[in-house]
Each structure stands twice: as C-alpha cells, then as structure tokens.
Amino acid sequence: MANSLITPLSLAIIAASYNHTYVAAFALIFKLEAIILLIPMALTTSMPAIIGFNYWTGHHDRVKQAYRYMFATVLIAQLVIALVLNYTVDFWANSLCQHDSVTIHLKHYLTWLPWGYIGAGCVIVYQSTLNAKDKAINASVLAIIHSLLLLIPLCMVGIQ
C-alpha cells in the first residue's frame, strides 16, 4: 500500500516542478489507471491462489503453464488497450478535459503511458504470485526496481 502511494506522490511532485498543468493531467491519468489496468488487477486476485496451490502441492508444470497464460493474457489485453487508446487519443483527451493546456498533456500521456502499462501489468501480477509462493522479498525487490529505479527516472526523462 505504501508503495502505491509513494509513486503517484513523487510523480506529482516532479510534474509540479515543471508546470501546474501537469498536475491536472496526472490527476486524470491516475483515475484512468484503474480502468486501464483492470485485467491485471483482476488477475492479482485470482492468480495467487492458482499459482500458490499448484506450487505448494508440487505441480510445477501447472505453475509454468499458469504463468504462460497469465502473461499472455496481460500482454494481449494491455496491447489491445494501448492500441485502442493510441487511435482514439484525441477523443479521450477532449472528452476528459476542455482546457487546451491540460488536453495537450493528456494526449501525450494517453499515447505513451498505456505502452508502459503492458510491463507494469506483468509486474503487478507477477508480484502477487511471488507473494503466494512465499517469496515476499523477491516481490519487494521487484516493486522497488519497478517503482524507484525504472518508473521515476523514465518519467523524468519523458518530461524533458
């Protein structure tokens, strides 16, 4: 929970240091994030039980098969969402906000952010399955690498 609060807050602080319209765009994006990541979030509730049960009963072939299906589902679903948003970015940006300065930022975010959610979806689901296999330290390291070492520096580069 703390990790999910730190990243949006730190990104908002970075955005606010550049321009106040970034913060307005971030507010809308963080609300859309739950919809864009709906499939990975649904899988975080179901996959740990499947992976954990098969892992602890010694059915490692089923675990590998579940991982393949899980990652394929996330990759395909997020790819479709990214493509749809990429082709309808003008509609969504203009529908969500009428201010031109914020709409420009929304168009950039809705064009590029969903592509990053492909990897983020995989990380989110994999993290929850690691916890089911009693590998909480690995899940924490993955979260730190994703949030602090990848997400924030890439956002700073993207703002430039």
- Segment 109-138 shows an average pLDDT of 86
Domain, as residue range, for 31: 2-159
Residue 15 has a pLDDT of: 66
Q: What is the DSSP letter of 88?
A: S
- Segment 146-150 shows an average pLDDT of 74
Most confident of 5-9, 34-38, 57-61, 153-157: 57-61
Torsion sign across C-alpha atoms 31, 21, 23, 110: positive
More confident residue, 23 or 69: 69
Residue 7 has a pLDDT of: 60
Q: 58 in helix, strand or coil?
A: coil
Checking if the pLDDT of 59 tops 90, the result is yes
Residue 92 has a pLDDT of: 85
- In the predicted model, what is the mean pLDDT of the chain? 82
Assign 51 a pLDDT band (cuts: 50, 70, 90).
Answer: very high
CB 51 within 8 A of CB 132: yes
Q: How far apart are CA 146 and CA 86, in angstroms?
A: 24
Q: How far apart are CA 80 and CA 65, in angstroms?
A: 22
For the chain, what is the domain count? Answer: 1
Residue 32 has a pLDDT of: 84
97: Cα within 13 Å, side-chain hemisphere? 21
More confident residue, 15 or 111: 111
Residues 73-87 pLDDT 10s: 999 999 999 999 989
